[in-house]
Amino acid sequence: MRGGLSVERIPVAGPWITEKEIRYATDAATHGWYARAGEYPARFERAFADYVGRRFAVALPSCTSAIHLALRGLGVGPGDEVIVPDSTWIATAAPISYVGATPVFADVDPVTWCLSAQSIEQCLTPRTRAIIPVDLYGGMPDYAALLALADARGVPVIEDAAEAVGSEFHGRRAGSFGAASVFSFHGSKTLTTGEGGMLVTDDEALHRRVLVLRDHGRQPGDKLFFNTEVGYKYKMSPVQAALGLAQVERMGELLARKREIFGGYRDGLAGCPGVSLNAEPPGTLNSYWMVTAVFAPETGLTCTRAMAVLDAAGIDSRPFFHPLSSLPAYAGQPQAVAARARNRIAYDLSPRAINLPSALCLTREQVARVCAVVKDLLAQAG
């Protein structure tokens, strides 16, 4: 309540659904059975592959399952190491444990908050079998330098573009880098199917291997239920795919809305000392999945304090990702202990950064309201 009036709470994330999505999903629910059961998944896969600029796409239940299949498809297993950024959601690293390999937590770039070639180089060993850079919050790492290093060492790259549909690096869209790329379509993402994910690749052999692994070890087109190995049940339903197809066809306006929301924050906080937002280095286009504010050290502001103030004002927010190596899930693991001593930037960013409301439904007035609270917070800190 404010002044005796109820103020609508501002959400941190959420989709933009139109009649088009409803129409496609209704058609899939009504007709997506029998001979038409695979129609919407196939259309979604083709449309998405075309959008990101890949030859093949495989619709899946999550981005986590996509990383799992990519690792299995590349033959990563026990005794191997896989480099991931310390600043990311645990879903990037968890599938490494699924296949029996060891996650190695590398530091991030202070500007993009993504893996850099330098941070990777510090973590490479003869046991390194893959690198998983993350396009964090819609930002992009320097893929030219990153891929040059990986190629020179013969280490495949799996691009985790879960948060970056629509972003670009020097004219190439997120999802077009490395041996394979993966996406999330969680309800919080720019393009959503409610839950869901996608693996995209240009490698036909990897594509065929993933198709077998995702369907309980059945060869594509198998009619005899004759499993050649133990695999997984990783498929997307026709209704989800129909929703995703409509969203792909609307990617232009979804991306424009995300950038408009970021523009509101940029303008609303312009000239405000003590806070900086997501970077967009020359040659990149940031889709700004999550608008992120980093408070300068001299302000003394923490993520915890900022979240509490925003919450009291009826505004939802999220913390910047805790370093993976700081999580109880990895407590005591040698790689986590080493990362805590090494990854200065990841540990410096996390306590003083926050994700501001970035839902696609936000109005200009709501963005202005958030900016006002942030500015008041900074003024009090000063």
Annotated catalytic residue, options 189, 223, 258, 375: 189
pLDDT band with cut points at 50, 70 and 90 for residue 156: very high
Q: Is 235 a catalytic residue?
A: no
Distance CA 316, CA 301 (A): 17
Mean pLDDT of 124-130: 98
Q: What pLDDT is stored for residue 273 in this prediction?
A: 93
Token couple for 366: 């709501």
Superfamily of domain covering 252-381: Aspartate Aminotransferase, domain 1 (3.90.1150.10)
pTM over the 0.85 mark: yes
Q: Where in the chain is the domain with CATH 3.40.640.10?
A: 19-249
Write down the mean pLDDT value for the chain.
96
pLDDT band with cut points at 50, 70 and 90 for residue 381: confident
The answer for residues whose C-beta is within 8 angstroms of residue 364's C-beta and 6 or more apart is 264
Q: What pLDDT is stored for residue 150 in this prediction?
A: 98
Question: Is the separation of the CB atoms in 158 and 22 below 8 Å?
Answer: no
Residue 219 pLDDT more than 70? Answer: yes
Taking each helix axis as running N to C, give the angle between helix 303-312 and helix 364-381, from 0 to 180 degrees, rounded to the nearest 10: 130
The alpha helices in the chain, defined as continuous H runs, are 19-31, 39-52, 63-73, 94-98, 117-121, 143-153, 204-213, 238-249, 251-268, 303-312, 334-342, 344-349, 364-381
**CA of 80: how far to CAs of 65, 91, 93, 230, in Å?**
19, 18, 13, 21
**CA of 223: how far to CAs of 60, 119, 217, 235, in Å?**
21, 48, 13, 17
Residue 218 pLDDT more than 70? Answer: yes
Question: Is the separation of the CB atoms in 59 and 235 below 8 Å?
Answer: yes
pLDDT band with cut points at 50, 70 and 90 for residue 4: very low
Q: What pLDDT is stored for residue 6 in this prediction?
A: 58
For the stretch 331-379, pLDDT in tens is: 999 999 999 999 999 999 999 999 999 999 999 999 999 999 999 999 9
Question: Is the separation of the CB atoms in 348 and 87 below 8 Å?
Answer: no
CATH topology of domain 19-249: Aspartate Aminotransferase; domain 2 (3.40.640)
Mean pLDDT of 172-185: 98
Q: What pLDDT is stored for residue 75 in this prediction?
A: 98
Sheet bearing 168-169, strands edge to edge: 172-173, 168-169, 284-285
Residue 267 pLDDT more than 50? Answer: yes
Q: Where in the chain is the domain with CATH 3.90.1150.10?
A: 252-381
The answer for residues whose C-beta is within 8 angstroms of residue 79's C-beta and 6 or more apart is 100, 101, 127
